[in-house]
Structures are given as C-alpha cells and as structure tokens.
Amino acid sequence: MSIAVMSLIALVLVFVICAFVPINVGTLAFAFTFIIGIVIGKLKLVEVLAGFPTDLFILLGGVSYMFAIAQINGTMSRITSACLKLIRGNVALIPWIFHLIAIFISAIGAGPAVTTTLLAPIAMQVTAEAGISPLLVGVMLVHGSHGGSYSPVSPMGVIANGAVAKAGLPDLSWTLFLNSLVFNILIAVAVYLLFGGLKLIRRSREEVMSDKLKALMETGSEQPLTFQQQATLAGIAALFVMGLGFKYHVGFSAFTIGVILTLLAPKEERKAVEQMAWPTIIMIAGILTLVGLMAKVGAIDLIARGIGQVATPLTAPLLLAGAGGVISLYSATGAVLAALIPMVPAVLAAVGGGNAAGAVSSLVIASSVVDTSPLSIQGAMLLASVKNMDRNTFFKQLLLWGIAMIFVGTVLSWLIFVVIGLP
C-alpha cells in the first residue's frame, strides 16, 4: 500500500475514531502524521512540518488572545449592548445585520477570512446573549463574507481573476463578483428559514427580549467607559485599520495590540491566555498538518486524477467544482482556486470543449460556500468564538453544513452557470 493511500485512510480514520472517542481531532491527526510521514514514509521532519499551518496558528492565537482580553475587561459586553440597541432589541434582525456587514467589509478589500476573523468574536458574543442559534448567525456571517469576496479589490477576487488571466480566459471579474453575491444571499435566505429565522420573526419584542437580553442592552448605559474599555475599543478599531488598510497580518497585529492592552492590566494576562481557544487551535493545526502530508505524498493528486478519468464535456465542470468543494472543506480556498482555475481550459479541451466562464463561476462558488467547515479558517474562527454551545457539538454542525454545501454549492452552481448558462 502506498503512502498516499495510507494518508487518505488516516484522514478517514481520524474522523471515524473521534466520532466515538472523546479525543481532540488535532492530536489524533498529529499522531497519524508522525506515524505515516516519519515512521513509515521516512520523510524528514522539515518536510512534515511544511504542512503545519503557521499562518493560521498565529491568526487564531492572536485574535482569540486579544478578544479574550476584551471579554475579561467588559468591552465585549458593551459592544453587544450597542449592537442590540442599534436594532432596538429585535433579535430577528441580528443575523441579517452581520450578514450585510460581512458583505460590505469583505467587498471593500478585507476578503472572507479577515472579515470572519474580525466579526466572529463579536457575532458569537451577541448570539450568546440574545439566545440565538450560533449556527444561524455564524453561517450567515460566513456566507455574507463570501458574498463580497470576489469583488475586484478583495484578495479572493484578486486570486481568482489572476488565475483566470493565467488560464488565458477573458476577464470575468465582475461576473464572478455578482454571481457569488447573488448566490450567497440566496443561501443566506435559506439558512435563515432553516435555522430558526421564522421563529424569531413570529415572536413579539417582549417575548424575544429575555431578562438577560434586556439587562445586556442596559449594560453600562449609565456608566462611562473605563480607560481599559476605551483602549480596547481603540485596539479593535486599530486591528481593522491594520488588517484592511495596511494589510498587516491580523494574527500578529492582534497579538501586538493584546500585549499593549495587557500592560494596562498585567494581572489579567493569565486569564486571557487560559481563555484562548487552545482546543480549537490544536484541532485545526493537527488536521491541516495531516492534509499537508497528504499533498506532499500525492494523495490529493491521486483524487484529482481519478476525477479526470470519468469526465465528459458537461460533467467536467461539475467534477472540477466538486473537487474544489471537497478540497476547500479542509484547506485554503484561495490556494484551491489558484491551482484549479488554470486547469479549466485544459480539462475542457481534453473532454471536447465546454462553457469555460460557467465552469469558473461554478468552481469559485462551490469552493467557497463550504468555508463554514471548522477545518477552514472561517469555520475555525466561529468555533473558537462560540459561547452558548458545546464546541464538539458546534464542530459537528459546522462540518455537516460544510459537507452539505459541497453538494448544494456544486450542483446548484453547475446547473445555474453551466447547464442553464446564466452569466
């Protein structure tokens, strides 16, 4: 049995074992990576560590550290209160508020990952206090971030459009942006209807507003912000400016701002470190290190070759989109698009032609709508930030929705943009 096949089996075993044994997915993945990559595969340590998601590790760590400080000093409660006052306590509007804000921030240049990283801690705090399903708000937030993600100035748009140019295809920048925007808004409507939106609408304001929520709306309303809270709000604003305006790494920026805030109250630093989402960070790091090993030993290429052997002019875009969705479930969507979009002309030529523009639209949408998966950076941020649900339960819900989106996103986008041929 080849190392590539063994790594595929290991990935399956990780999830099967963790479905029955209460063990962190990441620790098990690290163990399989060591056994298959170093003990059996005889790879060098540096080759195995190349798959460790350093960037994501720092990003998750920095943001969870900074927002832990914000939680401890009461800033998050004040932000929550302000958000609820803005919508006058109408919790039915909360999912849509975060969805629309995510579209805007992502489209103006933040991109989906940064947008979710910045908004998830606030959204999950509001969700917890308002008594709303974190799945409803979290999924709508992520789909909002992807609704704006293919604007020409967004990182994802830049990656996709660059790959389109590399493939020798005509400019599709605004086509991809509008297709993704409409598709994700429609998904958000479905999410709202599926996960409790109608119940929120039917409830009267007094029924919606629990005593806890009413108290939250009045949190600190008669008290001025403390110096720490003012500094934390300035720090959060600075994180947006550093990430969006100056394109600095959000994780490093968050760690730096967190250290500055810690110097104002050094005694709270230990609490902040303890409240960081370590189980989630280890979980994601372990899985992605195993996936990196799979790519190194050719397991991903093995899957791709298998798909190519059964393609036809009509099904080739479907299979490409499906492959993009599957791979993006546990890896960076930008990297998937950069790798797969240039393949579109060659694959279509190999099977006798096809709708290249529709194939690209289907591929970018199918690859991005799965990003609620907790194995992706956006799902991981939701998981790290959730307050009112057991993380293992939330992990399974996000993973199931991500898997469902492989089929929904792939088939619907293929039908709309390839079979029907809409722009």
SS (H, E, C) the chain: CCHHHHHHHHHHHHHHHHHHCCCCHHHHHHHHHHHHHHHHCCCCHHHHHCCCCHHHHHHHHHHHHHHHHHHHCCHHHHHHHHHHHHCCCCHHHHHHHHHHHHHHHHHHHHHHHHHHHHHHHHHHHHHHHHCCCHHHHHHHHHHHHHHCCCCCCCHHHHHHHHHHHHCCCCCCHHHHHHHHHHHHHHHHHHHHHHCCHHHHHHCCHHHHCCHHHHHHHCCCCCCCCCHHHHHHHHHHHHHHHHHHHCCCCHHHHHHHHHHHHHHHCHHHHHHHHHHCCHHHHHHHHHHHHHHHHHHHHCHHHHHHHHHHCCCCCCHHHHHHHHHHHHHHCCCCHHHHHHHHCCHHHHHHHHCCCCCHHHHHHHHHHHHHCCCCCCCCHHHHHHHHHCCCCCHHHHHHHHHHHHHHHHHHHHHHHHHHHHHCCCC
- pLDDT averages per 10-residue partition of the chain, 423 residues: 92 81 87 96 95 85 87 80 70 89 82 84 84 92 93 82 83 91 96 91 60 58 83 90 84 93 88 85 84 85 67 84 84 75 78 83 93 87 86 89 93 93 79
As for how many domains the chain has, the answer is 1
pLDDT tens digit sequence for 172-188:
988 999 999 999 999 99
Task: Find the largest Cα–Cα distance for the chain.
Answer: 70
How high is the pLDDT of residue 185? 96
Q: Is residue 152 a contact partner of residue 174, using CB atoms and an 8 Å limit? A: yes
Q: What distances in angstroms separate CA 69 from CA 132, 199, 235, 254, 398, one per listed residue?
A: 24, 34, 11, 11, 26
| Alpha-carbon span 277 to 377, nearest angstrom | 13
Buried b (16+ CB within 10 A) or exposed e, 121-149: bbbbbbbbbbebbbbbbbbbbbbbbbbbb
| Alpha-carbon span 347 to 313, nearest angstrom | 9
**Segments forming the whole domain that contains residue 391:** 3-419
From 230, 253, 234, select the one nearest 117 (Cα to Cα).
253
pLDDT tens digit sequence for 41-76:
999 999 999 989 888 788 888 888 988 898 888 887
Q: Is residue 324 a contact partner of residue 337, using CB atoms and an 8 Å limit? A: yes
From 172, 205, 184, 191, select the one nearest 88 (Cα to Cα).
205
Phi, psi for residue 92 in degrees, rounded to 5: -65, -20
